[in-house]
Chains A and B, each alone.
Chain A
Amino acid sequence: MTKVELITAIGNTLTQLDNALGDPALVNQPAKWQQAFAMRNHLDQQQRELLVATIQSDDEAFQTLTGKIQAATKQLQQTIDDLKKIDSIINTIGEISADLDQILKAAA
Chain B
Amino acid sequence: MAMQRIVRIHKRSYAFATLAVALALLSGCVPDQDYTPVVTQFQQSATMLAQSFQTLLVNANQIEYEHYIDTQAFSHGQLTPAEIDNQAVITPAELKLRSDAVLALAEYTTALATLAQGKEEAKIVQDASTASDSFSTLAADAQTAAANRHLIPSTADYAGPISGAAAAAGIILGLIERHRTHEEIRKSIEKNDPALAALFDLLGNESQAIYERQKSTQRAQGVMLFADYNREITQPAPDKDYLLQLSDRIKQYRHNQLLVAQSDPAAAIAAFKKAHDALVAVILAPKDTKPQSLAQLVASVKSFSAEVQPLSAGVKATATAK
Contact = CB atoms under 8 A, between A and B. Distances in A.
A67 interface: no
Contacts of A64: none
A21 B226 CA distance: 9
Nearest to A9: B212
Contacts of A11: 212-213, 215-216
B227 A33 contact: yes
Contact of B209 (A3, A21, A37): A3
B216 A14 contact: yes
A7 B223 contact: no
A4 B212 CA distance: 9
A1 to B, nearest CB: 13
A1 B262 CA distance: 25
Contacts, number: 66
Interface residues of A, number: 25
Given A18-B222, A22-B223, A44-B220, A51 B213 contact: yes
19 contacts: A2-B205, A4-B205, A4-B209, A7-B209, A8-B208, A11-B212, A14-B220, A15-B215, A18-B219, A18-B220, A21-B223, A21-B226, A22-B222, A27-B230, A44-B217, A44-B220, A51-B209, A51-B213, A52-B89
A92 B213 CA distance: 21
Given A11-B216, A18-B222, A47-B213, A41 B75 contact: yes
A55 B208 CA distance: 16
Interface string A1-32: 01110011011001100100110000100000
B152 A52 contact: yes
B202 to A, nearest CB: 11
A8 B205 CA distance: 11
A40 B230 contact: no
Contacts of B220: 14, 18, 40, 44
A8 B223 contact: no
B286 interface: no
